[in-house]
Homo-oligomer: A and B are copies of this chain.
Amino acid sequence: MHKMNSKNKTFIDKLRSSGLRPTNQRVEISKFLFNRKKTFHFTVEELKNSMNLKRSKKISTATFYNTVHALKSAGYLKEFSLENNTSYYDTNIKSHHHFFDNGKVIDIKSDKITFHKLPDAPKGKKIKNVEVVIRLENNN
Q: Which of these, B82, B130, B135, contacts A129 with CB under 8 Å?
A: B135
Check: A121 CB closer than 8 A to any chain B CB.
yes
Check: A133 CB closer than 8 A to any chain B CB.
yes
Contact B115 A139 (CB under 8 A): no
Question: How big is chain A's contact interface, by range?
Answer: 35 or more
A136 and B113 contact, Cβ closer than 8 Å, known pairs A81-B81, A83-B79: no
Contact B122 A99 (CB under 8 A): yes
Query: What distance in Å separates the Cβ of A39 from its nearest Cβ neighbour in chain B?
Result: 16
Of residues 113 through 135 on chain A, the ones whose CB sits less than 8 Å from some CB of chain B are: 113-119, 121-122, 124-135
Q: Give the 7 A-B residue pairs with the shortest CB-CB distance, closest first.
A: A81-B81, A114-B116, A116-B116, A125-B136, A128-B135, A114-B117, A128-B137
